[in-house]
Amino acid sequence: QKEVEQNSGPLSVPEGAIASLNCTYSDRGSQSFFWYRQYSGKSPELIMFIYSNGDKEDGRFTAQLNKASQYVSLLIRDSQPSDSATYLCAVTPGRSMRFGAGTRLTVKP
Amino acid sequence: DTGVSQNPRHKITKRGQNVTFRCDPISEHNRLYWYRQTLGQGPEFLTYFQNEAQLEKSRLLSDRFSAERPKGSFSTLEIQRTEQGDSAMYLCASSPTGVVDIQYFGAGTRLSVL
């Protein structure tokens, strides 16, 4: 079992729709959870992090964490073509960060 | 705050050669990380420093890889006797002291081993 699993996609949504990205992790000791966005050929860029159960909102982005289910998700509201990228889920079971393989999102105008 | 800086941005080398990459973290960030990323995969953890101390090293890291952070500022990653399988993007990240370890990534060094 991989430490962090994501649906590789591609996920395609129309402009203005809600994009839902999901991630599961295996280490119950994981304490912090991150979503990074990575454009093709670029390095990961932090979108947001969450460490408490529940929802955390930042602009058009909402992260959701359920530690009992070992599940974390990212919702992108009012999706824009500029949101088209690969979204990486990352968890910290210790100090080092473990990444999923990423979900490729395409937002079609 | 100029961000995490990595040099060179691209490196092409022949199999069997040694290569060295440099990472300059965000100033005052005492934690520094190295990752490797191949196409279609997420970054894979290689090693972690807190100040000059190397506190964690991936079991996947062969003896051909070595990293240093001699003065707790910049870091170098050396790969000896490169193999074609070493071709990847090598990413450096740094983070400040804090409850949540928020890591900021550099632009990476893309290595191609011919």
Task: Give the separation between CA A26 and CA A60, rounded to whole angstroms.
Answer: 28
pLDDT at B60: 76
- Judge whether residue B8 has pLDDT over 90: yes
Query: From the CA of A79, how many Å to the nearest CA of chain B?
Result: 23
Q: Is B16 exposed, middle or buried (0-12, 13-18, 19+ CB in 10 A)?
A: exposed
Residue B30 pLDDT greater than 80, yes or no: yes
Residue with token string 């910049």: B74
More confident residue, B46 or B100: B46
Among A90, A95, A100, select the one facing B48 at the smallest CB separation. Answer: A95
Question: Which two structure tokens, joined as six digits, stand for B7?
Answer: 């040099």
Question: Which residue on chain B is closest to A31 by alpha carbon?
Answer: B100
Q: How many pairs of residues across A and B have Cβ atoms under 8 Å apart?
A: 56
Q: What is the percent of chain B where pLDDT is above 90?
A: 81
**Nearest-by-Cβ selection for B103 from A4, A97, A100:** A97
N-to-C CA span, chain B: 36
pLDDT at B41: 93
Nearest CA in chain B to A97: B45
Give pLDDT, residue A62.
97
Inter-chain CB proximity B42 and A42 less than 8 Å:
no
Q: Which residues of chain A neighbour B42 with C-beta distances below 8 Å?
A: 4, 88, 90, 99-102
Task: Answer with the residue of higher pLDDT: B99 or A9.
Answer: A9
* Residuewise pLDDT in 10s, chain A (109 residues): 678 999 878 999 999 999 999 999 999 888 899 999 999 999 999 999 999 999 999 999 999 999 999 999 999 999 999 999 999 999 988 778 899 999 999 999 9
What value does the mean pLDDT of chain B take? 93
Q: Do A88 and B31 touch (CB under 8 A)?
A: no
Residues of A at the B interface, defined by Cβ within 8 angstroms: 4, 8, 32, 34, 36, 42-46, 49, 51, 88, 90, 92, 94-102
What band does B1 get if pLDDT is binned at 50, 70 and 90? low
pLDDT on residue A105 = 96
Q: From the CA of A35, how many Å to the nearest CA of chain B?
A: 11
pLDDT at residue B9, rounded to an integer: 96
DSSP per position, A9-65: --EEEETTS-EEEEEEES-TT--EEEEEEE-TTS--EEEEEE-SSEEEEETTEEEEE
